Amino acid sequence: MAKVTEVAAQLAEPIVAAAGCTLWDVEYVKEAGEWFLRVYIDKEGGVSIDDCEAVSRPLSDALDEADPIQGSYTFEVSSAGADRALKKPEHFAACMGQEVQVRLYRPREGRKEFVGVLTGYEAGTVTLEIAGEQVPFDEKEAAQVRLYPRF
End-to-end C-alpha distance for the chain, whole angstroms = 44
Together in a domain, 135 and 95: yes
Q: State which H helix or E strand residue 79 sits in.
A: strand 74-79
Please indicate, yes or no, if residue 84 is contained in any of the structural domains: no
Q: Are residues 61 and 103 in the same domain?
A: no
The boundaries of the domain holding residue 31 are 4-79
Contact 116, 139 (CB under 8 A): no
Cα–Cα distance measured from residue 47 to residue 40, given in angstroms and rounded to the nearest whole number? 10
Task: Give me the phi and psi of 23, to 5 degrees please.
Answer: -80, 120
Are 67 and 115 part of one and the same domain? no
What's 58's domain CATH number? 3.30.300.70
Tally of structural domains, the chain = 2
Q: Kindly state whether residues 112 and 61 are assigned to the same domain.
A: no
On the question of pLDDT at 36 being above 90, the answer is yes
139 and 115 together in one domain: yes
Residues 6+ apart with CB under 8 A from 7: 66, 68
Q: Render pLDDT for 45-103 as a digit per residue (tens, 0 to 9).
A: 999 999 999 999 999 999 999 998 988 999 999 999 999 999 999 999 999 999 999 99
Q: Do 23 and 66 fall within a single domain?
A: yes
Same domain, 100 and 71: no
Judgement on whether residues 52 and 108 belong to the same structural domain of the protein: no
SS (H, E, C) 32-70: CCEEEEEEEEECCCCCCHHHHHHHHHHHHHHHHHHCCCC
